[in-house]
A = this chain, B = another copy of it.
Amino acid sequence: MDLELKDIPAKEIIPGFHGKMIHTPKSTIAYWEVEAGAEIPEHSHYHEQIMQVTEGEFELTVDGKKRVYGPGTVVYLEPHIKHGGKALTPCKITDIFCPPREEYQ
């Protein structure tokens, strides 16, 4: 099945986070465009999450530790770990969740 990214509408899931979502039976891929300054509060979920900042700089706090991420690093977030963060610049971020994020559907 082919999915054209240009045809997937972006949803503003939280203020400043605009995500194009692909849901499969086993996973969700989220392609985010994040506005500079947008913040996601600390939270956790039972899904594993693999995050990649493909453009810009994003300050992520994982289990209380802060680090600024940009292209070239892949972050593995294990299920239930606390995480949150803030876009220091406009960012593009790709997240892979397994299993699917049903609340994003």
Q: Which A residues are within 8 Å of any B CB, using their own CB?
A: 1-6, 22, 24-27, 29, 48, 50, 67, 72-76, 78, 96, 98-99
Contact = CB atoms under 8 A, between A and B. Distances in A.
B27 A73 contact: no
Given A67-B2, A96-B96, A50 B27 contact: yes
Contacts of A72: 4-6
Nearest to A75: B2
A29 B48 CA distance: 13
Nearest to A74: B3
Contacts of A26: 48, 98-99
Given A2-B67, A96-B96, A48 B74 contact: no
A90 to B, nearest CB: 20
Given A4-B73, A5-B74, A6-B72, 19 more contacts: A1-B75, A1-B76, A2-B76, A3-B74, A3-B76, A4-B72, A5-B72, A22-B76, A24-B76, A24-B98, A25-B78, A26-B48, A26-B98, A27-B27, A27-B48, A27-B98, A29-B50, A29-B96, A98-B98
